Amino acid sequence: MIQSVDRAARILHELGSGSPTLGVTELGGRLDLAKPTVHGLLRTLEQSGLVSQDVATGRYSLGPRVLQLGNAYLAGSELRSRSMLRAGALARQVNEAVWVTVLVDDAVMVVHHEFRPDDAVQILEVGATVPWHACAFGHAIAAYLPQREMEALLEAPRRALTGRTRTEPETLRKAIATVASRGVAVENQEANVGDGGLAAPVLDHANRVVGALGVVGPAERLLARQARARLTRAVTETARGVSRDLGASRLLPADGRLSHR
Amino acid sequence: MIQSVDRAARILHELGSGSPTLGVTELGGRLDLAKPTVHGLLRTLEQSGLVSQDVATGRYSLGPRVLQLGNAYLAGSELRSRSMLRAGALARQVNEAVWVTVLVDDAVMVVHHEFRPDDAVQILEVGATVPWHACAFGHAIAAYLPQREMEALLEAPRRALTGRTRTEPETLRKAIATVASRGVAVENQEANVGDGGLAAPVLDHANRVVGALGVVGPAERLLARQARARLTRAVTETARGVSRDLGASRLLPADGRLSHR
DNA sequence: CGTCTCTGTTCGACGATGCTGAACGCTTGA
DNA sequence: TCAAGCGTTCAGCATCGTCGAACAGAGACG
């Protein structure tokens, strides 16, 4: 691993999480690096447009080029492009907002957001992240991850986002097992009070989980008994369709968990 | 400038423009680097999530983390946050889609997109880029750039996107002079056939251009004589309002061009 | 209004660290 | 079956990045 590149990436990560602008000294403190080292890295990153400096204050922030890269990632994402049509159809069919998400570290990130057809004003959540343990998408992905990676997720520390967030390893392990047997994950106000979700995993041609697809919205509307049954069927069918498009062969067997290796 | 970091940034840039997936050999060829060098850089970038490798083909593409960074850039962008309210008001007032853009290299990038209130289905263009010379936003920014930077833009090679795209340095110089004297730039189907735009610059507390704000839409609707006059007034007023919010003092003097050192 | 402390920045020398050519499996296509 | 291309590994040399100390400027404070 190349030291300076890794440090540069850590700087970008630091600028991207928490305070939007940071000074050289502060960055050096957080990453345990000497001031001139951070300075050199920042100047290089600035020249590439990945970071920009406020000439007035001297502080640094992320540069516009990272947004351009983010857009390029979306444009090139196979999961996204392959799921857009089916996600749109699902949104119209069940009249709910649809998300397509991937796992990045210990959070799921929205790569596609299909608006609920009936609502006029909605905010786009593409690029937003939610801790994996607090949403249906995270559970759906975790349930089909190789054992080792799933354990890694369970071992990391977690914090509660609402009063209903499940954080205990054993509780989560049980929840994941249920997901694996049913093929769908359900979340009830574990990330935001009032909101719920329902998601199923998406597999690729090697039957690996590459993400999850599902619906989000008011918990009371999504999780009412009738709606829930209808949504479960529609979501699993759509996710299965996307998986098939990606070349997956073993499509959510009845016993859930796929064998890995 | 740190060599390895610069090379890593060039790799990201290469992955972000053009082909969404590239192999080690191909990247090495494009950047004139030895294969193992590229490999080492890619492995480091992959570990940070900025790049991800398709395990089946071995090829590399941008990773999900760049999208997360892009989102963080948007969240921290002062221009964006300071212009959102006024952009929304402008969109409702003139019933057109509104863009807020910044200059990155030789293109303008959309950092905020306010939908046209009347249209149901529209695609979000945040993160999209347009060559500076082919749109009103680019002209608006160029006209208020320090002389040296403006000359740099004019010296770079340009290509036509439509039959109406202006590419000659002298033609552009004249167009920019007009923008500087009027405070607004107008574009008529120079980037996409059928589309037009109308934009004004946004200045910061040191009276530097930080971006442009304006409307986009069908050229025939935007550029009809009456609409054009009304839009010009509304756009300049909104851009001036954002500039004031950012602390600018010299607000688009009558003679246009600001003195720069 | 001076002073002091903090910032971001420059400099130079040390030595760790990243670069490279050659060689390795592996898959793909002929 | 073979050959050509891929991504990957290795080890040695020289480069290149790192760090402590010192600098200039801004801002806060008395």
| Residues B186-221 as b or e (16 or more Cβ within 10 Å = b) | bbebbbbeebbbbbbbbbbeebbbbbbbbbbbebee
Could you report the per-residue pLDDT of B125-153, keeping only the tens digit for each? 899 999 999 999 999 999 999 998 999 99
**pLDDT in the model for residue A260:** 42
Q: In this structure, are residues A219 and A188 in contact, taking their beta carbons and an 8 Å threshold?
A: yes
Confidence of residue B252 (pLDDT cuts 50, 70, 90): low
Could you report the per-residue pLDDT of B187-198, keeping only the tens digit for each? 999 999 999 999
Chain A residue with minimum CA distance to B72: A16
Could you report the per-residue pLDDT of A110-150, keeping only the tens digit for each? 999 999 998 877 888 899 999 999 999 999 999 999 998 99
**pLDDT in the model for residue B191:** 97
User: Chain A 131-160, CB below 8 Å of chain B: which residues?
Assistant: none
Q: For residue A105, give the nearest of B49, B69, B205 by CB distance.
A: B49
- Reading across the β-sheet that carries B60-62, which strands appear in turn? B21-22, B60-62, B51-53
Asked whether residue B260 carries a pLDDT value surpassing 60, the answer given is no
Q: DSSP of chain A, one letter per residue?
A: --HHHHHHHHHHHHHHSS-SEE-HHHHHHHHT--HHHHHHHHHHHHHTTSEEE-TTT--EEE-HHHHHHHHHHHHH-HHHHHHHHHHHHHHHHHTSEEEEEEEETTEEEEEEEEPPTT-S-----TT-EEEGGGSHHHHHHHHTS-HHHHHHHHHS----SSTT----HHHHHHHHHHHHHHS-EEEESSSSTTEEEEEEEEE-TTS-EEEEEEEEEEHHHHSSHHHHHHHHHHHHHHHHHHHHHTT--S---TT-PPP--
Q: How far apart are CA B188 and CA B219, in angstroms?
A: 6
Could you report the per-residue pLDDT of A170-192, keeping only the tens digit for each? 999 999 999 999 999 999 999 99
Q: How far apart are CA B180 and CA B169, in angstroms?
A: 16
**pLDDT in the model for residue A253:** 47
**pLDDT in the model for residue B250:** 63
Contact state of A66 with B70 under an 8 Å Cβ cutoff: yes
**Does A229 touch chain B if contact means CB atoms closer than 8 Å?**
no
CB within 7 A of strand D (chain A, 12-41): 33-37, 40-41
Whether the predicted model's global pTM rises above the 0.85 cut:
yes
**pLDDT in the model for residue B195:** 97
Nucleotide nearest to B40 (CA to C1'): C18
Q: Which residue is nearest to nucleotide D10 (CA to C1')?
A: B36
Query: B19 versus A95: which is more confidently predicted?
Result: A95
Query: Which residues of chain B make contact with A56, given a CB cutoff of 8 A?
Result: 205-206
Q: How many CA atoms lie within 13 A of A69 on its CB side?
A: 32
Could you report the per-residue pLDDT of A195-245, keeping only the tens digit for each? 999 999 999 888 889 999 999 999 999 999 999 999 999 999 999 999 999
Q: How far apart are CA B215 and CA B255, in angstroms?
A: 23
Asked whether residue B120 carries a pLDDT value surpassing 90, the answer given is no
**Does B124 touch chain A if contact means CB atoms closer than 8 Å?**
yes
Q: For residue B72, give the nearest of A16, A69, A126 by CB distance.
A: A16
Task: Give the type of residue at B209.
Answer: V
Token pair listed for B72: 């963080």
**Does A74 touch chain B if contact means CB atoms closer than 8 Å?**
yes
**Does A248 touch chain B if contact means CB atoms closer than 8 Å?**
no
Distance measured from the CA of protein residue A199 to the C1' of nucleotide C27, in angstroms: 37
Could you report the per-residue pLDDT of A22-78, keeping only the tens digit for each? 999 999 999 999 999 999 999 999 999 999 999 888 999 999 999 999 999 999 999
Strand, coil or helix: B209: strand
The fraction of chain B above a pLDDT of 90, given in percent, is 85
The reply to whether the CB atom of residue A205 sits less than 7 A from any atom in nucleic acid chain D is no
Distance measured from the CA of protein residue A15 to the C1' of nucleotide D7, in angstroms: 33
Q: In this structure, are residues A216 and A187 in contact, taking their beta carbons and an 8 Å threshold?
A: no
Asked whether residue B57 carries a pLDDT value surpassing 70, the answer given is yes
Asked whether residue B222 carries a pLDDT value surpassing 90, the answer given is yes
Confidence of residue A250 (pLDDT cuts 50, 70, 90): low
**pLDDT in the model for residue B230:** 96
Mean pLDDT of chain B: 92
Counted across chains A and B, CB pairs separated by less than 8 A come out at: 168
Asked whether residue A152 carries a pLDDT value surpassing 60, the answer given is yes
Token pair listed for B168: 């000659």
